[in-house]
């Protein structure tokens, strides 16, 4: 049996332009420049830089039939209003607006130094050793397995299997172990170790023998677990030594490099450079916000494409090829104007959002004291600027701001709130800063437990539980009391 009924349904659909805008907003400056370059390459109707001859209006209203541009067959060229794409206005609207952008809009590229890679540096050293062909191949394979920190984090059995499958080298674990000992002789000291204990032991064995190094070797080789857990009393009893002797051995160990790969000066890893999207300066006691000029490119619609439309308009006899051409031109012009409008909206959204954050955290930006950071969540800023929380999130998650106190990730200014003993809302960032300061000033011979820290914070007016102290301590990457202990 068939039934008919009416159903009202509310749904939200995003236009292609809205989707494009959201994607542009979340891009940081460097990624935005790449996206801009891609669009300029893909759309010949879009041009960058200043126009030599200005005869187009970038703010002409979009053609009402623009939704049809994806389907060439459905476009009737007789319905295209060419006049909407042409204008006699000699000064486009964007030339009459003042911008609050920094002057840092020149193209900057980072040169990369050429040199020898870490792996090649190790292979070059191998050539100074007398090795059989098989041993040399195994040594090269081992060197190729060294990671950026200088470790070989694989079992010898796995390496043996890989040699057989990928290099057609059938060998034994004993032979690999023998060749590995040769790799351990390479510089920097400690390279090729399979764990931290072996790395430290290799470095100690290559140092000049003194009482302190001999004891340090003994501790690392025979009591590494007790050393890492800082069971100093057990170490004193095990080796029958004084505290001064233990201090000397620990000092030797502390001067070793736990990541020998990072010490290679010629290691040409590409360093990611952060380009601030905003800059905040203090001028006459007032905060001044600027948007990086690289986020405000000069774009305009191609004059040649406008001339093509003029030619089409003036032609009385319009051939099919000319109609096909004007459809293509219309598509490109619409896409160019959409993109230019999206860029303008992006600039406005970024500036408005960051301006709201700056004024919300004015006390911090004027002093640089993290204890002045107010509790602030995404919804606070979204309500302030009447935008969606997701939009604020896109701005905060991937953007940086250059402040008088360094370059900061914007999302770091957001934090939850909790009440102090006066019933006032305080930022969890403020509590973490105080916790960090208390731990820095503690007696390292008797570091404070989480329970004690919770009591100190309570005395300072922040009644939080021990487990909350533990959570904040872990977020600050601070170890437990036992591991902070020094002899």
Low-confidence ranges of the chain (pLDDT < 70): 1, 3, 5, 7-18, 20, 49-116, 263-273, 306, 309-318, 417, 419-427
Neighbour count for residue 229 (Cβ, 10 Å):
12
The encoded tokens of residue 265 equal: 């000066």
What residue numbers bound the domain in which 122 lies? Answer: 118-263
**Alpha helix locations (H) across 170-274?**
173-183, 196-205, 211-222, 224-228, 232-239, 243-254
Among 385, 406, 435, the domain boundary falls at 385
The answer to whether residue 278 sits within a structural domain is: no
The answer to whether residue 242 sits within a structural domain is: yes
The answer to whether residue 442 sits within a structural domain is: yes
pLDDT the model gives residue 69 = 35
d(C-alpha 26, C-alpha 286), whole Å = 28
The encoded tokens of residue 170 equal: 């059938």
d(C-alpha 465, C-alpha 463), whole Å = 7
Contact predicate 48/297, CB 8 Å: yes
Tell me, what CATH number does 436's domain have? 1.10.10.60
The answer to whether residue 296 sits within a structural domain is: yes
Contact predicate 57/81, CB 8 Å: no
Q: How far is CA 219 from CA 9, 201, 239, 258, in A?
A: 73, 10, 9, 16
pLDDT the model gives residue 51 = 57
Same domain, 255 and 142: yes
The answer to whether residue 347 sits within a structural domain is: yes
Task: List strands edge to edge, sheet with 286-291.
Answer: 286-291, 278-283, 400-403, 406-409
User: What is the number of domains present in the chain?
Assistant: 3
Same domain, 372 and 434: no
For residue 280, which phi and psi values (nearest 5 degrees)? -115, 125
Per-residue model confidence as pLDDT tens digits over 452-482: 888 888 888 878 888 888 888 888 888 887 7
The encoded tokens of residue 376 equal: 């602030």
Same domain, 166 and 240: yes
Same domain, 127 and 259: yes
Model's pTM, two decimal places? 0.53
Helix (H, G, I), strand (E, B) or coil at 187: coil
d(C-alpha 193, C-alpha 260), whole Å = 9
pLDDT the model gives residue 72 = 36
Neighbour count for residue 364 (Cβ, 10 Å):
21
pLDDT the model gives residue 314 = 65
Helix (H, G, I), strand (E, B) or coil at 255: coil
The answer to whether residue 454 sits within a structural domain is: yes
Question: In which residue are the tokens 């830089």 written?
Answer: 49
pLDDT the model gives residue 16 = 62
Same domain, 308 and 377: yes
d(C-alpha 347, C-alpha 388), whole Å = 16
Same domain, 214 and 162: yes
Same domain, 144 and 255: yes
pLDDT the model gives residue 52 = 53
The answer to whether residue 402 sits within a structural domain is: no
pLDDT the model gives residue 424 = 64
Same domain, 251 and 294: no
d(C-alpha 453, C-alpha 472), whole Å = 11
pLDDT the model gives residue 64 = 36
pLDDT the model gives residue 56 = 42
- Pairing mode, strands 400-403 and 406-409: antiparallel
Per-residue model confidence as pLDDT tens digits over 110-136: 555 555 677 888 888 888 888 888 888
For residue 283, which phi and psi values (nearest 5 degrees)? -120, 115
């Amino acid at each position: 049996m068939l039934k008919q009924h009416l159903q009202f349904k509310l749904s939200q659909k995003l236009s292609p332009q809205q989707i494009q805008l959201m994607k542009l907003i979340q891009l940081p400056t460097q990624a935005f420049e790449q996206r801009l370059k891609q669009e300029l390459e893909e759309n010949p109707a879009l041009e960058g830089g200043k126009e030599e001859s200005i005869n187009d209006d970038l703010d002409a209203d979009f053609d009402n039939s623009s939704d049809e541009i994806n389907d060439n067959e459905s476009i009737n060229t007789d319905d295209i209003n060419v006049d909407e794409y042409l204008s006699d206005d000699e000064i486009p609207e964007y030339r009459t607006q003042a911008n609050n952008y920094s002057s840092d809009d020149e193209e900057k590229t980072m040169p990369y130094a050429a040199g020898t890679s870490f792996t090649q540096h190790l292979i070059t050293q191998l050539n100074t050793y007398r090795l059989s062909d098989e041993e040399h191949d195994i040594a090269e394979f081992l060197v190729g397995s060294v990671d950026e920190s200088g470790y070989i984090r694989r079992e010898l059995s796995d390496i043996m299997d890989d040699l057989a499958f990928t290099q057609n080298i059938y060998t034994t674990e004993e032979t690999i172990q023998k060749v590995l000992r040769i790799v351990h002789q390479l510089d920097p000291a400690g390279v090729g170790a399979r764990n931290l204990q072996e790395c430290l032991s290799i470095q100690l064995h290559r140092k000049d023998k003194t009482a302190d190094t001999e004891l340090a070797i003994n501790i690392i080789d025979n009591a590494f677990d007790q050393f890492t857990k800082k069971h100093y009393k057990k170490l004193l009893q095990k080796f029958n030594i004084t505290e001064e002797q233990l201090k000397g051995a620990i000092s030797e160990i502390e001067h070793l490099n736990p990541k020998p790969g990072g010490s290679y000066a010629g290691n040409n890893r590409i360093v990611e450079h952060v380009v601030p999207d905003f800059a905040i300066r203090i001028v006459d006691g007032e905060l001044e916000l600027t948007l990086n000029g690289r986020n405000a490119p000069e774009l305009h619609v191609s004059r040649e494409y406008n001339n093509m439309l003029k030619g089409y308009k003036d032609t009385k006899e319009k051939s099919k090829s000319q109609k096909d051409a004007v459809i293509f031109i219309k598509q490109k012009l619409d896409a160019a104007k959409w993109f230019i409008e999206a860029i303008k909206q992006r600039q406005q959204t970024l500036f408005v959002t960051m301006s709201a954050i700056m004024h919300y955290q004015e006390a911090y930006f004027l002093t640089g004291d993290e204890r002045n950071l107010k509790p602030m969540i995404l919804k606070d800023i979204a309500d302030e600027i009447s935008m969606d929380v997701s939009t604020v999130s896109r701005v905060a998650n991937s953007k940086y701001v250059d402040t008088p106190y360094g370059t900061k990730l914007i999302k770091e200014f957001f934090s939850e709130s909790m009440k102090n003993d006066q019933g006032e809302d305080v930022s969890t960032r403020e509590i973490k800063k105080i916790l960090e300061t208390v731990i820095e000033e503690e007696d390292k011979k008797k570091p404070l437990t989480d329970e004690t820290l919770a009591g100190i914070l309570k005395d300072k007016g922040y009644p939080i539980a021990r487990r909350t102290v533990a959570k904040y301590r872990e977020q600050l990457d601070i170890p437990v009391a036992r591991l902070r202990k020094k002899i």
